[in-house]
Amino acid sequence: MSRVVVLGSGVSGHTAAAFLRKWLGRGDTVTVVSPKDHYNWIPSNIWVGVGLMRPDQVTFPLRPVYERAGIAFVHGAARAIHPEGDRADATPYVMVEPTAAPGTRVKVPYDYLINATGPRLRFDRTPGLGPDGFSHSVCTEDHAVHAARAFDESVQRMRKGERQQFVVGVGHGTCTCEGAAFEYIVNLEFELRARGVRDKADITWLTNEYELGDFGMGGMHFRTGGYVQPSSAFNASLFAERGIRWVTRAHTTAVERGRAHYETVDGTQGELPFDFAMLLPPFSGVGLTALDRDGADITARLFQPNEFMKVDADYAAKPYEQWRARDWPRTYQSPAYRNIFAAGIAFAPPHAISKPYQTPSGAAVAPAPPRTGMPSAMIGKAVAASIVDMIRGADGPTHTASMAEMGAACVASAGANPFTGTAASMTVFPIIPDHERYPEYGRDLDRTFGEIGLAGHWIKILLHHLFLYKARLRPGWSLIPE
């Protein structure tokens, strides 16, 4: 009998737990530890954030799903990993703080551990940023609900004749998930048109991207009409058509009531007045610690300084020009302990994909690599498959899911309406540019493309329902691709 513990119930952790339970024998146990007792399909928080969906349409309770599937569930937050056990017992365990008993700790023993805790939202890194400050977020369904209320208040003011200023983007120079902010700004603009108040709105995109369409991936190139088009032109055209202004290469230095301050890589210091701002935070790991058998702190052995877990990647410091696709992990196994893996956002990237810059004051303007959605699910599934094989006798990981060897598809909503809505449909291969295999653009242009249209919106709606069906582990769930 083997015990597998999964920390986190997001896309990667939930996927890993579901496949582990499907593939392992009855004598093996699968346990999910999560501070959240519900699943949130985060991509659809965009629609919650403009009032088009309710929170209950993007969430569901986890416990009934896990009970039906035979997965144990511990509602609490993991605080410390003890990979060698302790002096009383050499069995590895995780120390968990139960949600129902704050301040207490319980041991959850494991034979194999998957860290899929996702990110900590670091609103604290920019003064005044976030729901407890002066801006909004769509990172959680609750954040999105508050954003929708504020957005509606602005719409009501506009209907009374007031002009409103909207700022959407990222709230720090090292943010990731520019794609989510991109979805939000084009949906916000679409809704303003749909509600008949677009003429009273000024909308500005504030981003740490060096060029529009970078998305923390170094940008993309598409072959369109016989020409190769950069994603910067694709994005600029879309914004220009919709009357959205933009500020790029920016680090948001502070947010105060009605005003966002920023500095760009050329030293420009500016401010954007706003009535409504949705600015995403930077991420870090959740702050897990690690202790050896004697209780000594070995956190640095398992984690990078950004609190994400070290895996089988090349973390050697190098100039940007020397980074390679092969630096990226393939198995997501901890180099310190063979029975520990990380998946999804919880693993530490070896380096940024986009070239990092600094402002004259020394602030980093360096979009962090995205690792959400499809890649997270594929990594979770691969890690689960490797653990199953190791339980059955394999010497080590048997499955890989390198972001330098996989492609990804993204359908980004650009306005929700069954007749006039649109979505940007994009595929990229590989996710991590590989200039050794594809010297000119770093990617295979036959498998990297982007277009926008109504069909993409229908696909986006279909994916919303399809992936929630899959996440609920309904009959045939495992046949739905990641």
Structure tokens at 421: 């809505």
**What's the pLDDT score for residue 314?**
97
| Amino acid 260: pLDDT | 98
Q: How many residues does the chain have?
A: 482
What pLDDT, on a 0 to 100 scale, did the predictor assign at position 409? 84
Q: What phi and psi, each to the nearest 5 degrees, are found at residue 202?
A: -110, 125
109: three-class secondary structure by DSSP: strand
| pLDDT on residue 119 | 96
The overall longest dimension of the chain from CA atoms, in Å, is 71
Express each pLDDT in 20-54 by its tens digit.
999 999 999 999 999 999 999 999 999 999 999 99
Per DSSP, the residues of 191-215 read HHHHTT-GGGEEEEEE---SSTT-T
pLDDT at 226: 77
pLDDT of residue 451: 84
pLDDT at 113: 98
Q: Could you report how far apart the first and last alpha carbons of the chain are, in Å? A: 29
C-alpha to C-alpha distance for 463 and 119, rounded to whole angstroms = 24
The DSSP code for 395 is: S
Domains and CATH numbers, the chain: 3-121+283-361+368-391 (3.50.50.100)
pLDDT at 431: 94
Amino acid 222: pLDDT:
86
pLDDT confidence of residue 225: 73
Helix (H, G, I), strand (E, B) or coil at 340: strand
Residues of the chain with confidence (pLDDT) below 50 = none
The DSSP symbol for 400 reads -
The string of pLDDT tens digits covering residues 55-97 is 999 999 999 999 999 999 999 999 999 999 999 999 999 999 9
Judged on CB neighbours under 10 Å (0-12, 13-18, 19+), 362 is exposed
* Under 8 Å between Cβ of 289 and 80: yes
**Do residues 125 and 281 lie in contact, with contact meaning Cβ atoms separated by under 8 Å?**
yes
Give the pLDDT of residue 418. 84
Q: How many CA atoms lie within 13 A of 301 on its CB side?
A: 14
Q: Which residue has the tokens 């986006």?
A: 460
**Against a cut of 0.85, is the pTM above it?**
yes
Q: Which residue has the tokens 């579901």?
A: 18
Q: Are strands 340-342 and 244-247 parallel, antiparallel or unpaired?
A: unpaired
- Say how far apart CA 464 and CA 462 lie, in whole Å: 5
CA angle 246, 249, 251 (to 5 degrees): 100
Q: What is the pLDDT of residue 455?
A: 87
Q: Find, among 453, 353, 348, the residue nearest to 408 by Cα.
A: 353
